[in-house]
Structure 1
Amino acid sequence: MSTHEERWERFLDPDIVRPSLFMATMFITTFEILKNSIIDRIRDFYSIGWSEDGTTVSPEYKTKVLGRDKSPVYASLNWLHEHEVINDDDLETFEQLKSTRNLVAHQLFDIVTGETESNHTEQFQVLVELLRKIELWWVVNVELATDPDYVDAEVNKDGIVPGAILSLQMLLEVVSGNTELLDAWRTQRSRERQNAQ
């Protein structure tokens, strides 16, 4: 079979295309969650209130964060690096993940059909770990550190599942066909309706 025929064979086989497309879209989605986490967590930290337009941030956010780089992502990465949330290796990892994300996003069809090689499946766990590292820092060093219920409490970091990671785990369960979460949600909604009557 020629290379051209092999590509068509791969493209027309749902058992090959479905998981390949799934992993590609999950990589892109998770990378966007990572970018949002990098930017939004810091912006929320500098939040001073709410308005009709959303969160109102302190002028310090512009000077102490956004003033570092014209890109909010890189300005935020710089802030995270300075505050030792991430290190030089993490910055290099981010660049590799960004390159992979761009390849997958711009050549999705070619990757799914096997015409272009990509290591996004292998890098997926690295992406999740970087997201977890950043989110965990915020939970431990900001949320728990400012919660009076956790003052002087010993915290097991391994037992913490940050919200972004929990959401990602739920999404992976749902797209894999698991309906347990949906069933539990429907049961809870039904109880709430009965209690409201």
Structure 2
Amino acid sequence: MADKWANFLNPDVVRTRFIRTGLFLVAHEMLLSAIKDRIHDFYSNSWTAVGGWKASPDYREKVLSLDPKGKNDPLRASIVWLLRIQAINKDDENTIREMTEERNRLAHELRNVLGGTLDHDFESLFPKLAALIAKIDRWWVVNVEMATDPEFVGTELNQDEVTPGSLMLLKVLNKVALGKDEEAWGIYHEFTSTRDDTNP
């Protein structure tokens, strides 16, 4: 018990727990966006200043109707859509479920996670979450964005070599937030030195 109180009062321990939890929650929101928003936008045909992209009737017919529970839930329906086009597989679907369960657990048990009475396996879960986001985003980059860009038509590429912006962002956030002092400041110093060189 004394050790737990010591960790709870240790700024480095608590700060790290906060950062890890926050990074996981941010990444989970990015996963939800990768699953739902890209499909919604793909099936959108008009823009409104208030609501943004407005989905076409095809979205309801070809996506929302796929909800296994018949309730037009965008998340469940989008997962089925991604499975059908083979952007994800059954293992990925299980990972989505695992990550969502962990997200809900963190949100509801945050005090216990920060207090150290409830473990959060950030080291194994965060890479799985980041890899899944990258896989979905990579499918869109290769099969939609690059496939419709005249510059890349007819070009053969290794899909695994495509690095989506979402993966780069998560890597940078992880390094800046959780890297050792020199490593964490490395990106900042590199950026500011480059900016200084271009703006004498």
- TM-score, reference length from structure 2: 0.84
Contact 1:100 1:120 in 2 (8 A): no
Identity %: 37
* Residue 183 (structure 1) aligned with residue 189 (structure 2): no
How far apart are 1:56 and its partner, in Å? 2.3
Map 1:154-193 onto structure 2 (within 5 A): 154-176=156-178, 177-178=184-185, 179-180=188-189, 183=192, 187=196, 191=199
| Correspondence for 2:56 | 58
| Correspondence for 1:34 | 31
Distance in structure 2 (CA, Å) of the matches to 1:108 and 1:181: 35
Larger displacement relative to structure 2 (176-185 or 34-43) = 176-185
How far apart are 1:68 and its partner, in Å? 2.2
| Correspondence for 1:149 | 151
* Structure 1: gaps (5+ residues): none
* Structure 2: gaps (5+ residues): 179-183
Distance in structure 1 (CA, Å) of the matches to 2:33 and 2:169: 14
CA offsets 1:59-81 (integer angstroms, 9 cap, x no match): 10011112222321111111101
* Residue 120 (structure 1) aligned with residue 118 (structure 2): no
- TM-score, reference length from structure 1: 0.86
User: Structure 1 segments of 4 or more deviating over 4 A?
Assistant: 184-188
Paired residue secondary structure (1:129): helix
How far apart are 1:184 and its partner, in Å? 6.2
Distance in structure 2 (CA, Å) of the matches to 1:82 and 1:145: 19
How far apart are 1:170 and its partner, in Å? 3.1
The 1:13/1:73 distance shift into structure 2, 3 A limit, reads same
| Correspondence for 1:12 | 9
CA offsets 1:154-197 (integer angstroms, 9 cap, x no match): 21323321122222233334434432376268659x85xx9xxx
- Give the number of equivalent residue pairs: 188
**What's the RMSD between the two structures over aligned residues?**
2.1
Contact 1:174 1:181 in 2 (8 A): no
Paired residue secondary structure (2:54): strand
How far apart are 1:134 and its partner, in Å? 0.5
How far apart are 1:133 and its partner, in Å? 0.7
